[in-house]
Every structure is written in C-alpha cells, then in structure tokens.
C-alpha cells in the first residue's frame, strides 16, 4: 500500500478550530505535517484541536488572525515563519455563508463581508504564502470552495459568487505559479455533516430532502474532505493543478434525473 506521507511539510489550515478545518488539520498532522491551526475567534476550540493532534503524536500550534485583513495575514505568516521556518501547504478553508436574503432585500455590507472572508481572505493568504513557497521551489495551495461554485443557491448570492470566484482564482493562480513548482487546487465539498448545518441534518424532514439531492443518499463526513486534502497536498497528486475536485457524494450528477428528465 502507498501511504500519504507529509513528513517535514509545514501546513497552515485557516478556520481550523472546528468543522472541516479541524478534520483537515488533524488528518494533515496524522500524515506527518506540522500544522498551524488558524482561528479568528474561539481560541479555546483551536487549542483543543492542537491538543488532540499532539495527543496522537502530531505537531501543531494555534495562530489567530482575521484573514479579511491583509496586514493581519502578513503578521500571521510572519508568526508561522518564526515558529515553523516557512510554509509548504496552505489550505484556505475559513469561510462564511451569511444570512439568507434575496438580492434587493439583503444588506450590501453583509454581501461585502462574505466576499471579504470567502474570496479576499484566500487571496491575501495565497499572496503571502507564494513568496515563501518560491524560496524552496515547491508548495501546494488548496482552496475549499463548495458545490455552490456550480449550483445556484437562492438567498446566498454572496456565498455562491465568492465560491465561483475562488474557483477561477484557483485556475488562474495555478497558471501563474506552475513554473515555480507550486500547485493550486480546489476541493468543492457537498453536504458535509458539521455543527454549522446541524439544523438541517438534525431534523428528519430536512435531512431526507437533503439526502434526496445526493446520489449516495447520505451526508459526507468531515474526514472525507480531510483525506482528499491530504492526498492533494502530497506528492501522490504531483501532476494535479488548476482544477476543482468535487467531494459531494454525487450531488453534481443531479440524482433526480435517474428517473427521467
């Protein structure tokens, strides 16, 4: 069996104090990476993630920053430089969807905030990470998008626009950095069972409605995103760049059409 080996790699996972980010951080650490567990709020939760990683023999440290602030991002990367000596893997996971509101009934400031976190944040982080990766002639940037980079979602135009933009940013950045030894890829999760959407999977009626939208008829587990992230960050994915990997249980193959158009 060929194992995923990230020994000696230094990784930053944004939004890693819970949910998908936590799973990604823990799995990267289990594969041997030293992981910067980023949080904006929730220091206690981030420290718990660090403790869990260290309890299994892994290496991790918590770092705080507002990724929508470019100065804060640069300070974050400088702190990681001091602690880790550089960066090999960046996982842009931190994000928000914002309150549901159709255009015209929404708040433009909220729309801008979603874009600031979901699109500008990954841009600031990637922009700060690239010079560090160039020094060693290698690096991997993984952007966590969503199936909603492909699928419209009424009431969440800021979120869908940000994720679609992050997809094209992934492709363009991959084009710009391929000759520098840097790979840039995206993961588009489908419906994943995390605390943030417990209101949906905790209700039998809404859970059935969601399951009906998924070909495999179940929600994904956070670890299933983490495993794909670890693979993409590893040398096993050395010829993959500039594309999105959908990890969605078949949501994007429109399972309703199994019974006819």
Q: Are 29 and 53 in contact (CB under 8 A)?
A: yes
The CA angle 6-9-11, to the nearest 5 degrees, is 105
144, 96, 34, 225: CA torsion to nearest 10: -40
Q: Out of 39, 124, 159, 239, which one is annotated catalytic?
A: 159
Q: Are 115 and 57 in contact (CB under 8 A)?
A: no
Q: Which residues lie closer than 8 Å to 167 by C-beta, 6 or more apart? A: 143, 145, 149, 186, 188, 244
**Is 123 annotated as catalytic?**
no
Q: Are 39 and 31 in contact (CB under 8 A)?
A: no
Could you write out the DSSP letters of every residue in 49-70?
HHHHHHHTT-EEEEEE--TTSH
Q: Which residues lie closer than 8 Å to 34 by C-beta, 6 or more apart? A: 9, 10, 11, 59, 60, 84
> Tell me, what DSSP letter sits at residue 40?
S
- Positions marked active-site: 159
């Amino acid at each position: 069996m060929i194992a995923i080996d990230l020994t000696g790699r230094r990784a930053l996972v944004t939004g890693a104090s819970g949910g998908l980010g936590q799973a990604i951080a823990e799995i990267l650490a289990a594969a041997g990476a030293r992981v910067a567990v980023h949080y904006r709020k929730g220091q206690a939760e981030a420290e718990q993630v660090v403790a869990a990683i260290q309890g299994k023999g892994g290496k991790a440290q918590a770092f705080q920053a507002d990724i929508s602030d470019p100065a804060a991002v640069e300070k974050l990367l400088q702190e990681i430089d001091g602690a880790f000596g550089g960066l090999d893997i960046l996982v842009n996971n931190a994000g928000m969807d914002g309150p549901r509101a159709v255009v015209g009934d929404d708040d433009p400031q909220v729309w801008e905030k979603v874009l600031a976190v979901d699109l500008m944040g990954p841009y600031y982080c990637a922009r700060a990470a690239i010079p560090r990766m160039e020094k060693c002639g290698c690096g991997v940037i993984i952007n966590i998008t969503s199936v909603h980079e492909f699928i419209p979602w009424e009431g969440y135009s800021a979120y869908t626009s940000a994720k679609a933009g992050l997809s094209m940013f992934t492709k363009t950045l991959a084009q710009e950095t391929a000759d520098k030894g840097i790979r840039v890829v995206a993961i588009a999760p489908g419906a994943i069972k995390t605390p943030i959407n417990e209101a949906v999977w905790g209700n039998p009626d809404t859970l059935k409605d969601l399951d009906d939208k998924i070909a495999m008829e179940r929600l994904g587990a956070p670890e299933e995103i983490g495993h794909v992230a670890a693979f993409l960050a590893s040398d096993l994915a050395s010829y993959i760049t500039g594309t999105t990997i959908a990890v969605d249980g078949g949501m994007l193959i429109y399972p309703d059409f199994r019974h006819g158009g």
